[in-house]
Each structure stands twice: as C-alpha cells, then as structure tokens.
C-alpha cells in the first residue's frame, strides 16, 4: 500500500503511554547520594552492566538502599555524573588503536575540568574505574595539555611527582619499616664499598 493510500487515523497523543524515565540512586564512599538517569548511566560500561545485572524496577530503586560506589568520593562522583548527564545518549567512541588519539575538549568538559590537579587525577581514576571512555579521553588530554612547554621542575609540581631522590628515600623508608635489618645490611654494603670491594659476595 502506498503512503498516499494509507488510511488516516487520528491519534490521541494523551492516550499513548509515556515511558517513565528511570533514575538510579548511587552513594559515594563519603555517603553522598546521587540520582542518575538510565541514559546517563550508559556512558559508564561498569555501571551499565551493574544496573542491568541488578534488574531493578522503579520501586526497587526507591525502596532498596542506594548502590554504593566504595572507591570514589562525593566530590569526584558529582563531576562524573554531571559529565554523564551532559553527554547522555552520545555514541561511545571505539578505540581504533591510533596514536596519538585526536581528542577535542568540548567547552562543557573544559569548564567541568577547571579544577585543581588532585581532583582532576581523581576524576581520571574514576573514569577509568567506571569505564567511561570519552571522559577518560578528554581528562587524559587535559593532563597532557598541562605539560606543554613546562620544564622538568615545573612538571614535577604540576603532576605532583616525586624526584628520583624522594622516590628512593620513600622506598628505603618503606623497606626499613618492613625489615629493620635492611638499614644494617645497606650500611654493611656501603662500608665494604668504601673498603674497595666491588662485590657484596
């Protein structure tokens, strides 16, 4: 039947059942609660699988405790869900293995990530943990952009990185804490070196 010949039916739009939007409740490790739409959750592969496996109804969402996300604090989770809500319904990029990736940071994301470095690293960690591909891409790009034109000393400060000496000292301290004899052994080794022996044995 052609389109022209098809019978015209008056549709009462009010009679069409409107599918209710489903929201889920999540709780951060510092007991902050968030309500997140089903569509926004799809940006996170981890959460999407989790809610699919739980098979909650709207009533379950209200009656059961909020889903706990133990590893992420409220401040970070708020940013994560703001990002997911803003980008809900968008296609999730597929990794084609190209290096370097061509990633542009949209205005909304740039504003969202206008935060101190500690929080930004937490956001990256959360994006990785929750498997939110595009959030991970833009946040990593933001961190890479922060390195542009910096000296090694500036990079240490920007990325909160310890120097080799600090790294060694931390390792030594950890080793000593674990084994009190480690320092003695090291001193013995240094002494032997001073005496001209190149080998410990």
Partner 1 sequence: MTGTEETGNNICMLYEAANKTPVYEAYQKLCKFRGNFDIDYVDFEQKYYRFYHGNSELKSADRISSKTFSDLPIDILKIVINDLELTDELILRKVSKSLRSIIDGPKFVSSIIFIHLEANSSQIGLERNYVNYSDKHDEKTYEVKTRPLDSDGNMKINITKKPRVIGEEHWESMIRDLSTFLCNPNWKFSSIHWIFDENKLDYPDIRQKQLQLIENMLKTTSLQVKNMSICSKEPTTVMAILPYVIPVSLEYLSLHNNGPKLEEIMELEQWKKLKSAYVDTVPDSFSIEHFFHLEAFSIDQIRFSEDRLVKIRDILFKSTKFSRCTLRSEIEDQVNVDGNGEAISSLRELIIAVNRIMGEHPEYNADTRCYSIPDSDEHFFVYPCENHLSFELKIKRVKNGQEDIENSFEEF
CB nearer to partner 1: pick between 40 and 138: 138
* Smallest distance, partner 1 to C-beta of residue 28, A: 14
**Residue whose structure tokens are 């994301």:** 109
Number of residues located near partner 1, criterion CB under 8 A: 41
CB nearer to partner 1: pick between 41 and 124: 124
Residues 6+ apart with CB under 8 A from 134: 43, 87, 90, 92, 93
In this structure, what is the dihedral angle of CA atoms 45, 55, 89, 47, given to the nearest 10 degrees? -30
User: Interface with partner 1 includes 116 (CB under 8 A)?
Assistant: yes
User: Interface with partner 1 includes 119 (CB under 8 A)?
Assistant: yes
Residues 6+ apart with CB under 8 A from 105: 113, 138, 141, 142, 145
User: Interface with partner 1 includes 110 (CB under 8 A)?
Assistant: yes
Binding residue for partner 1, selected from 64, 101, 172, 192, defined by CB under 8 A:
101
What is the C-alpha to C-alpha distance for residues 20 and 6, in angstroms, rounded to an integer? 31
| DSSP letter (8 states) at residue 15 | G
* Smallest distance, partner 1 to C-beta of residue 25, A: 25
Q: How many CB atoms lie within 10 A of CB 80?
A: 28
- In our burial notation (b when 16+ CB lie closer than 10 A, e otherwise), range 41-54 reads bbbbeebbebbeee
User: Interface with partner 1 includes 141 (CB under 8 A)?
Assistant: yes
Site string for partner 1, 144-173 (x = CB under 8 A): xx-xxxxxx-xxxxxxxxxxx--x------
User: Interface with partner 1 includes 94 (CB under 8 A)?
Assistant: no
Q: Which residues bind partner 1 (CB under 8 A)?
A: 99-101, 103, 105, 110, 115-119, 121-122, 124-125, 128, 136-137, 140-141, 143-145, 147-152, 154-164, 167
């Amino acid at each position: 039947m052609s389109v022209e010949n098809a019978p015209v039916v008056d549709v009462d739009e009010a009679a069409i059942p409107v599918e209710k939007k489903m929201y889920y409740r999540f709780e951060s490790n510092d007991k902050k609660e968030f309500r997140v739409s089903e569509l926004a959750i799809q940006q996170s592969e981890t959460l999407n699988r989790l809610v699919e496996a739980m098979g909650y109804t709207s009533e379950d969402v209200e009656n059961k405790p909020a889903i706990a996300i133990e590893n992420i604090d409220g401040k970070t989770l708020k940013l994560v869900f703001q990002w997911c809500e803003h980008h809900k319904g968008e296609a999730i990029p597929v990794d084609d293995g190209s290096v370097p990736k061509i990633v542009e940071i949209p205005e909304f994301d740039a504003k969202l990530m206008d935060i101190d470095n500690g929080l930004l690293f937490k956001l990256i960690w959360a994006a990785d943990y929750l498997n939110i591909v595009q959030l991970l891409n833009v946040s990593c790009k933001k961190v890479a952009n922060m390195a542009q034109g910096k000296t090694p000393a500036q990079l240490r400060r920007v990325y909160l990185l310890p120097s080799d000496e600090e790294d060694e000292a931390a390792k030594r301290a950890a080793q000593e804490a674990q084994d009190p004899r480690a320092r003695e052994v090291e001193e013995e080794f240094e002494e032997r070196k001073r005496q001209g022996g190149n080998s410990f044995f």
